[in-house]
Amino acid sequence: MSKENQWIAGINAVAAAVEHDAGNVREVLLEAGAKNPRIAEIETSARRKDIDVRRVAQNALDGVAGGLRHQGAVARYAAARTWGEDALPGLVEAAGGKALLLVLDGVQDPHNLGACLRSAAAAGVTAVVIPKDKAVQVNATVRKTSAGAADSVPVVRVTNLSRTLREVQKLGVWIYGLAGDAGASLYALDLRGNVALVLGGEADGLRRLTREQCDQLVTIPMPGMDAQGVESLNVSVAAGVTLFEAVRQRLG
């Protein structure tokens, strides 16, 4: 698991870090005199977990937050929780034939990645896979946007995405890529077993090498849209639609 020091800002982000990963929270700074009851809850929870807590002036929080909206709560955090690619086989095996992977091929916007992580956490995914290069990483903005999901979903960073997909196939995982020019519908798939759902980045969609590793390319039917298909949707919206079709089938 990789680690790096960073400041995270905002009530949801700080509360999630304290709740889910207290061992990596170095200190919590809270606004002196703040009336928001959630600030008091964060302080109580942090002190209970032996995290250093300081009440400071708002201008001190402004300086530490570096322009992020802090809502009176900032934390110095020692880890961006990400897993190495060697963790994937164990995660898939532990899922007992029901692995659900979300693979993001080059998402650039931290808000989109954060929203994808929220959907992934709600859907109970096994892991989210992202490339180390030419894609946004789990930074402070992603953590805040994810509203705690970045702490609860395994995010696996890989060096070579197409090679990782080949290795995942060897583990018995079916790989389905979302593409606007695909002829088959997402809703025609059987998504109840070991499945990886692959979505491209905001600008160009799936890269060629990624497309070639997919067992099948499918699209989300959109009667109100033109033939551009899934690229017409925000990537986080497409991720939510796709993941919850898998959830629907698995619960059905």
Binding site, annotated residues for S-adenosyl-L-methionine: 200, 220, 233
Helix axes 235-251, 110-123, angle to 10 degrees: 10
3-state helix, strand, coil in the chain (%, to 5): 40, 25, 35
Length of the chain in terms of residues written: 252
Q: CB count, 10 Å around CB of 230? A: 28
DSSP string, 180-231: TT-SEEGGGS--SSSEEEEEEBTTTBS-HHHHHH-SEEEE---TTS-TTGGG
Annotated binding site: 200, 220, 233
Phi-psi region for residue 46, left (φ > 0), alpha (ψ -120 to 50) or beta?
alpha
- Tell me how far apart the alpha carbons of residues 29 and 209 are, in angstroms, rounded to a whole number: 45
